[in-house]
Amino acid sequence: MMTVAMPIKMRNGKVKVFTGYRCQYNDLLGPTKGGIRYHPNVTEDEIKALACWMTWKCAVMNLPFGGASGGVACDTKELNVAELEALTRRYAYILREYVGPRKDILAPDMYTDDQVMAWFMDTYSTLSSEYIPGVTTGKPLGMSGSRGRVEAAGRGLMITIREAAMALGLDLTKSTAAIQGAGNAGATAGLLLEEIGVKVIAIADSTGGIYNPNGLKMKEVIKHKHAKSNKNKSVKGFPGSKPVASDKIMEMKCDILIPAALENVINKSNARKIKAKIIAEAANGPSTIDADNILYKKSKIFLIPDILASAGGVTVSYFEWVQNMTGHYWTEDHVNDELERYMVTAFNDVYEISKREKVDMRTAAYMLGISRVVDAYKTRGLWP
């Protein structure tokens, strides 16, 4: 775990020192891999937890990566572009000896994007005196990024929901979905679910939610959210919809519930009120331990855990890394076909353990992920 101080000259001429973190949790399966987030509430404990999650996520997906995470305590809304670039380049400069395509690979997370990845990669490459795109993933297409990366998290989520529905005998063309979180993962998943026949009846973001029992037409919702005239960039006010509180979406009558925003939104106070048949965790840690016990033992809800449901992003990040390392770049169809193969295989691996051991899907996923890391530890042995 590294904690670093980063002095940056601000636009007012003063120097402000930001605190950054990077945790490389486990590298038994390969170089560590994980996002960086820019948020005022970033803490050391949060970064450690995210790195731990990423370790098991990569193992469940059978990727040749360990787990890592990083972040900077800052408010991006208070930084202009020049300050954001300076912060990113300083972060890259400080971490330069500890990261790399065969050491630790970074990716976007909360309030970071493809531009931040490009700045980090450019700084690292400049300091190394050679072009090294594999130090980051989630880069722009013109900077050795991968096709299909933007939709990856939502596409992976859709695939696991489709597989769960098949396992349960649920007809998706007669099913409804409610989504808490209208960011990239939630919105993309809603759009792709709609394409395979699911009716998305509700979606919410940080400002509130919308509801229409007849379906919301996700393309139009996304267009509304990102319209120039929509200053708040919110789903609120979408024509033909009714307002609904974000927390009420969790208790809405639907077949598929997707928590795609915050941690601990499903807890012992609302778990018994959930009416969905499938919960697909697009966010990290949206369910508490108490909620898990209620959902599985009492409500018999089929829960697809975060380390499986949200693994589409890191899987296509792996594909981007492979393309960077080989210099051979794939078509979007090839990326999507490979993502399909990885997600279906991982779902079936976890589901088989769940059935064989008579445990819930989260327990099964951890059994699979941890066993793969343990096997690597035993096989590699101890260096004298």
333 part of a folded domain: no
Give tens-digit pLDDT for 146-170.
Answer: 999 999 999 999 999 999 999 999 9
In a domain, 191, yes or no: yes
Q: What is the pLDDT of residue 178?
A: 97
Domain annotation covers residue 329: no
Total number of domains constituting the chain: 3
Q: State whether 112 and 250 are in the same domain.
A: no
- C-alpha 52/C-alpha 366 separation (Å) is 11
CATH of the domain at 7: 3.40.50.10860
The pLDDT of residue 16 is 97
Contact 349, 307 (CB under 8 A): no
Structure-token pair, residue 222: 């996304």
Rounded to an integer, the average pLDDT of 279-283 is 96
Distance CA 64, CA 258 (A): 28
Task: Judge whether 330 lies within some domain.
Answer: no
Domain match, 198 and 65 both: no
Q: Which of residues 143, 162, 191 is at a domain's end? A: 143
C-alpha 376/C-alpha 103 separation (Å) is: 17
Specify whether 158 is located in the same domain as 264: yes
Which residues make Cβ contacts (< 8 Å) with residue 295, sequence separation at least 6? Answer: 266, 271, 274, 279, 287, 301, 303, 360
290 with 156, same domain: the answer is: yes
Are 37 and 109 contacting, i.e. CB atoms less than 8 angstroms apart? yes
pLDDT over 90 at 381, yes or no: yes
SS3 for 140?
Answer: coil
Per-residue pLDDT reduced to its tens digit, 61-70 = 999 999 999 9
Angle at the Cα of 168 (from 165 to 170), degrees rounded to 5? Answer: 55
Least confident of 105-119, 128-142, 216-230, 354-368: 216-230
In a domain, 317, yes or no: no
Same domain, yes or no: 112 and 163? no
Measured at the CA of 235, the angle between CA 230 and CA 237, to 5 degrees, comes to 75
- Mark which of 143, 178, 202 sits at the end of a domain: 143
Mean local confidence (pLDDT), 259-268: 90
Same domain as 139, residue 160? no
Whether 110 and 70 have beta carbons less than 8 Å apart is answered as no
Terminal Cα distance for the chain, rounded? 24
pLDDT for res 137: 98
CATH code (residue 268):
3.40.50.720
- The pLDDT of 131-137, averaged and rounded, is 98
**Residue 316 belongs to some domain of the structure:** no
What mean pLDDT comes out for the span 329-357? 98
Of the residues 117, 143, 169, the one at which a domain ends: 143
pLDDT in tens, 162-210: 999 999 999 999 999 999 999 889 999 999 999 999 999 999 998 889 9
Cβ atoms within 10 Å, residue 327: 8
Please, are residues 103 and 95 in contact by the beta-carbon 8 Å criterion? Answer: no
- Answer yes or no: is 239 within a domain: yes
Domain of 365?
346-384
